[in-house]
Amino acid sequence: MEDLILKQSFWQQPTKQVMDELKTTNQGLSTNEAENRVKQYGKNVLETKGNTSMLQKFIAQFKDLMIIVLLVAAVISIFVGEGVDAIIILLVVVLNAVFGVFQESKAEEAIDALQELSAPHANVKRDGKVQTIKSEDLVPGDVVLLEAGDIVPADLRLIESASIKMEEAALTGESVPVNKSVDVIPEDNPPLGDRKNMAFMNSNVTFGRGEGIVTGTGMKTEVGRIADLINNAEETTTPLQANLAKLSKTLTYLILAIAVIVFVVGLARGQETLINMFLTAISLAVAAIPEGLPAIVTITLALGTQRMAKRNAIIRKLPAVETLGSTEIIASDKTGTLTQNKMTVEKVFIDNQLNDAGQVKPDELAEDHRLFDLMILNNDTKKIDGDLVGDPTETALIAFNDNHDYSSDNVINRLKRVAEVPFDSERKLMSTVNELGDGKYLLTVKGAPDELLKRTTKFDVNGQISPMTDAEIDLIQDTNHHLATQAIRVLGFAYQILNEVPNELESDKVEKDLVFAGLIGMIDPERPEVAQAVKEAQEAGIRSLMITGDHRDTAAAIAKRLGMITDEQIDTAVITGAELDQMDETEFAKKVDQFSVYARVAPEHKVRIVNAWQKKGKIVAMTGDGVNDAPSLKQADIGVAMGITGTEVSKSASDMILADDNFSTIVIAVEEGRKVFANIQKAIQYLLSANLGEVLTLFVMTMMGWAILAPVHILWINLVTDTFPAIALGLEPAENNVMKQKPRGKAASFLSGGVAGNIIYQGLLEGFITLFVYTMALTFPAHAGSELIHADALTMAFATLGLIQLFHAFNSKSIRGSIFSATTWKNKFFNWSILASFLLLSATIFVPGLNGIFHVSFLNLLQWLIVIGSSLMMIVIVEIVKFVQRRMGV
């Protein structure tokens, strides 16, 4: 029977056939049969992947090539006797690994969150009696009883419905509760939102009651399919991770090549011993390795997350900060993300005129118009602790009046309900009878305008009742159609004054000869700030897409209001899930550029859309708040979940959470991400050009047979100049044009945009200036004696190499911009870091005892002037190059 269940389209089958296929009755299963089916189908729970242990996750952090390079550097440092430096490097590596373990978002968290949404218990019929059992013990064929407030415990085919409504927004994207029925649906594969006779696991019953037969449990439910998609979503590599991996590999090859060349050439010259040349090669390797880079990247990202958190963007994975900056596509769920997920009265048709809701004043008009009383009385909304609880459509009617100073409580207390005819999905109407006083009663009727007009004979204008004419009917129908084309949900209201409460409360006996009072148009409105955010994204070269489970017309109308599409694009830029199913991957890949709105889609469609853009080389951000968004959030390069309306499932599957559910926060986060990338790029340019200068200095000294800088010199310079200034570059404020640039895309790296060229010429420049000072010191010695000459020359080279890097840090504050601007001294941490680094560097020369440890000598005033003057040339030359580049439009 298991294979049979998988193949059945239960929505297409009458109740009797469903029972026969599942071998059950409306009295439910026997206890023995239920126990047998538990063994056959398993528990009604969601499965997760095998969890990796904490140790496995920790070890996995050391697979990164840069980490391996750093471990090699630590071993080298121990070999040359620099144990302190080795300890520092190892601490950086271990802390980086620990941080990585706790930052990673794992799929099992999302599945656990899905499981927590499930109902703990269910009311079922077993052995012909109603019993309460654990939901995990449900099996196919069980008959489940549902009522308002219940969470659906499994997928069901409804066999009985008493005006039952279900809220399925988290699963389907439908913004309002769905009216369910038991009628057969003939289509072969309708979207989930159109399967009116099915109830899905984890959806909520908001109104009415009903019964259903379990058709699927655990991983065989629609939620189970989502859990499977989450489990099988591919782990994507972020641009940051790809960039660092590529950079690490390149550096490793270069470092090994240079070290080998120096070692071989040194031996070939015959002037050095094997051990000396080996130590020299090690010094070169130490000079070339940017051991502070992983720590600097981590710190820069961490600081970025703190800034984002202050602006309501909470980062769950550190690399996501930088990924945001390279985003090219933002694929956004509609309900609760682009819209407020709250039905709101937008239009009021009264006195034969259509008005914006803001122009209507119930507190002033209510005396002559019954429409506002009808909105309140024909309504089942409850107030609990000041909150409106009930159907979103009805709560919107109460909120409209209360917000316009017309108290719903006063109306309800004044006009007590004494009878009602409940809503029915066939007649699409609901009626109540309320006391008016003086022996009179008010019949209120609410529902679909077309159905209401069939029962209406009069209309009310300014309190004056007149016979309904064809002209009025045409006007009302045209208004209804006009609002419907804008995806506005329309309700009609009518009434009648009765002398007594009807004896027979049936539709055909009560709902007749009505007086038409007006129309109310409602919509789940777009968030007011989203249109501007979409515009800013467009200016930044980012394309915004809408992906929703809602209807085509609703999605298109909201997209048009947000500026995602124009009137001319409605026919070509909007596609439904059913239309998408008719396309193969090749056709969809060709047409994906033309679609901006995807309506009536299923979870697998969202994953498919994300995949299509990723295959085109685009970096995709996916936003959402529902269970149905979780697989695509995990698949996307960066998943963005809503913090307020978002389910725990979507949050667990995401990389970033919006604390304020504000779409515009995404644009703010993109700006922050671009700033983070720019600052990391500045730090990398600074570090690698400095290390290249060190390598060039040591390489030439070795080739020329000169006395060379010792490993202790290089390690101290790296420690002093690579740490604080590089971290401080990560705190640089964003440059003015950061959101006017196009996304750099997946192909870009930290070395693109001219940075690689800058590193080369600036590194060569640092090396040449240092060697120039060294040769000058040898040519014009300040002291007699060859030992002093060489000591002074090495000290001047050491001081120059350190100072030149500190001055170069100012150059690195902008890849192209001049340092002579108002923002040069704005970064106070940078200023203090340069001062601290200068003092640490100078202390090795000035402080007695330290200069002995570092094998340096005191310098006189002239020597210091030469060192400082030569180091300042770094700023002058780089500024000239930047000026030329700007003039040439580079």
| C-alpha to C-alpha distance for 77 and 714, rounded to whole angstroms | 11
Do residues 600 and 576 make contact, with C-beta atoms less than 8 angstroms apart?
Answer: yes
What single-letter DSSP state applies at residue 152?
Answer: P
Q: Where would I find the H helices in 813-860?
A: 828-846, 850-853
Q: Could you write out the three-class secondary structure of 654-721?
A: CCEEECCCCHHHHHHHHHHHHHHHHHHHHHHHHHHHHHHHHHHHHHHHHHHCCCCCCHHHHHHHHHHH
With beta carbons less than 8 A apart as the criterion, state whether 692 and 763 touch: yes
How far apart CA 428 and CA 885 sit, in angstroms, is 70
Q: What share of the chain is helix, strand, coil (3-state, %, to 5)?
A: 55, 15, 30
Q: Which amino acid is at 149?
A: G
Token pair of 598 as six digits: 């995807």
Helix, strand, or coil (residue 849): coil
N-to-C CA span, the chain? 69
What token pair was written down for 443?
Answer: 């019949």
CA distance 702 to 720: 24
d(CA 396, CA 328): 37
Please say whether the beta carbons of 109 and 230 come within 8 A: no
333 among known catalytic residues: yes
d(CA 31, CA 24): 12
* CA 601/CA 585 separation, integer angstroms: 16
Question: What is the Cα 20 distance to its own chain's centre?
Answer: 46
State the Cα–Cα distance between residues 552 and 598, nearest whole angstrom: 8
**CA-closest candidate to residue 289, choices 676, 698, 678:** 698
Output phi, psi for 161, to 5 deg.
Answer: -145, 125
Summary count for the chain: helices (H), strands (E): 36, 26
Q: Which of 142, 150, 155, 333 is catalytic?
A: 333
Q: Token pair for residue 795?
A: 């000290």
Region of residue 296 (left: phi > 0; alpha: psi -120 to 50; beta: else)? alpha
- Determine the Cα–Cα distance for residues 319 and 238; give it in Å rounded to an integer: 7
Tokens 């089958």 locate to: 13
Q: Exposed (0-12), middle (13-18) or buried (19+): which is 143, by Cβ within 10 Å?
A: buried
Report d(CA 304, CA 322) in Å as an integer: 9
Q: Taking a C-beta distance cutoff of 8 angstroms, is the pair 604, 222 a contact?
A: no
Cα(772)–Cα(804) distance, integer angstroms: 13
SS3 of 630-645: the string is HHHHHHCCEEEEECCC
CA angle 344, 352, 444 (to 5 degrees): 65
Catalytic residue numbers read 333
